[in-house]
Structure 1
Amino acid sequence: MAVKAARDDEILYMFIEKHEFFILKTASKTAKHYISKKDDEWSVALVAFSDAIKKYDYERGSFISFAELLIHRNLVDYYRSQGRHSLESQDEGIEDKAVIESKDNNLKWEIEALTQVLKEYRFTFMDLADCSPKAAKTKEACAKAVSYILDNPILVKEMRALKRLPTKIIEKNSKVPRKILERHRKYIIAAVEILYGDYPYLSEYLVYIKEGMK
């Protein structure tokens, strides 16, 4: 999406709007206090995020981490230009350290966000521990079902609208047994929401599905 946003103004606008909370959250972490759209830091962070989209290279890793780095750097430069030197005394390489230390927090925020989404399906994030596939063949079958849904966005819309898995269609077209679809329904729904949504850190735990989609 970041790569597409760099090439299309309409996608760019939607991409920035979708990440407003992320931009404010990242700016607040650097500023050490809450930042709103009324603050100067918002403008600085927004410019940095837009710059990250233009400069991002897909081959170099996570866009989110890269955007965090640029927002932090730009805010540090902004504070220095304003004569606020409280950040200057920090160690060299603070940007990289900040990105590393923020990963756990970002993962926590993603889990909290996903938990709210899963509530609409009437199950919790903690339920996934009991319904996640363990055997290699079962994981492969679930990955096949998830990939099929993601390859057909209309099914994602149906799943989100009706708050249920379109089992019959998946079984018929992906050839995944109904028994597996029903037993691992919660896991499949969560995986679709993660990979279709904006959860870069949680999606790292589903790399085997992403690899199979290439």
Structure 2
Amino acid sequence: MAMTRFQEPGFLLVRAQEGDETCRNALIKKFTPFILRVASNVSGRYVRLGSDDEASIGLIAFNEAINNFREEKGVSFLSFADTVIRRRLIDFFRKESKAQKVLPLSTFDDPSDESGEDASNRLEVHQAQETFRLENESSDRRAEIVQYDKLLRDYGLSFAELVEVSPKHEDARRRAIEVARLISETKEYSDYLKLKGSLPLKALEKEVDMSRKTLERQRKYIIAVTIVFLENLEYLKEYINKV
């Protein structure tokens, strides 16, 4: 049976953004399988509606995407929604990781404010604050690496494999990173990568100072770095930018 105009995703999206709750609910219901698929990919396990927090977060993130999507940005709605869902789930995993180490803020109150203790005590408090910050940062880094490994698996790659596929020479690494940056910043190329799971070699060969043979040889590394830029993985991106 043909889809009527009132069932089309584009129509539902416009009406939902105009405040039509019936259309919003219809749009969410229509794309619930998409939401669960993204949440499952991010979580690395099958996510079920009604029993997993990740599913609820995915639905909330999709609703947020409806509110914030702007067509003029040059990104399709589903690509935008995919990004919002992934980022909200990453935030969730980071908060869950931090919750294991949360201490009351009173732990870090300056004792000199009440007891008049000397500078050595204030220094001890400062050191405790710094240790707490570093522990949380370390936890965030671990969570990001776990998330990255799951993203890599969508492309048939693994985190452990990156050491082997990384170009050995610094200049070669730098050129490969610039190609990855170009892909992440060019909608046509990034959409191709997401859809096909491979590099748009023909187009890249005309635009970058790198032979097709080299692009093919460094394919895995370029894809891996592109994922870092596309998903805005802050710690890994910081490391890559240093290169």
TM-score normalised to structure 2 length: 0.52
Identity of aligned residues (%): 22
Correspondence for 2:166: 132
The within-5 A match list for 1:10-29 is 10=68, 19-29=87-97
Q: Structure 1 residues 169, 89: closer, same or farther in 2, change over 3 A?
A: same
DSSP-derived class of the 1:126 partner: coil
Contact 1:148–1:174, Cα closer than 8 Å, also in 2: no
Structure showing greater Rg: 2
Alignment RMSD: 3.2
Q: Distance in 2 between matches of 1:16 and 1:151?
A: 17
Q: Distance in 1 between matches of 2:94 and 2:171?
A: 40
Structure 2 unaligned runs (5+)? 1-66, 70-80, 111-123
Contact 2:90–2:147, Cα closer than 8 Å, also in 1: no
DSSP-derived class of the 1:133 partner: coil
Structure 1 unaligned runs (5+)? 1-8, 34-71, 81-86, 210-214
Correspondence for 2:156: 122
Q: Write the deviation string for residues 116-150 of structure 1: whole angstroms up to 9, x where unpaired.
A: 11112112111111110121331232123123212
Whichever residue aligns with residue 140 of structure 2, its letter is N
Q: Distance in 2 between matches of 1:120 and 1:29?
A: 23
DSSP-derived class of the 2:199 partner: coil
Q: Write the deviation string for residues 80-118 of structure 1: whole angstroms up to 9, x where unpaired.
A: 6xxxxxx46896234432221123322222121111111
Whichever residue aligns with residue 157 of structure 1, its letter is D
Q: Structure 1 residues 92, 22: closer, same or farther in 2, change over 3 A?
A: farther
Pairing partner for 1:175 from 209, 215, 221: 209
Contact 2:149–2:159, Cα closer than 8 Å, also in 1: yes
Whichever residue aligns with residue 222 of structure 2, its letter is I
Q: Distance in 1 between matches of 2:206 and 2:85?
A: 37
Q: Distance in 1 between matches of 2:236 and 2:222?
A: 14
Contact 1:133–1:139, Cα closer than 8 Å, also in 2: yes
Q: Write the deviation string for residues 23-74 of structure 1: whole angstroms up to 9, x where unpaired.
A: 54454455438xxxxxxxxxxxxxxxxxxxxxxxxxxxxxxxxxxxxxx7xx
Whichever residue aligns with residue 10 of structure 1, its letter is N
TM-score normalised to structure 1 length: 0.58
Residues 1:105 and 2:163 aligned together: no
Correspondence for 1:92: 125
Q: Structure 1 residues 160, 27: closer, same or farther in 2, change over 3 A?
A: closer
Q: Distance in 1 between matches of 2:90 and 2:226?
A: 21
Correspondence for 1:191: 225
Q: Structure 1 residues 126, 136: closer, same or farther in 2, change over 3 A?
A: same
DSSP-derived class of the 2:160 partner: helix
Q: Structure 1 residues 135, 144: closer, same or farther in 2, change over 3 A?
A: same
Shift of 1:197: 0.9
| Matched residues, number | 151
Correspondence for 1:32: 100
Q: Distance in 2 between matches of 1:95 and 1:173?
A: 49
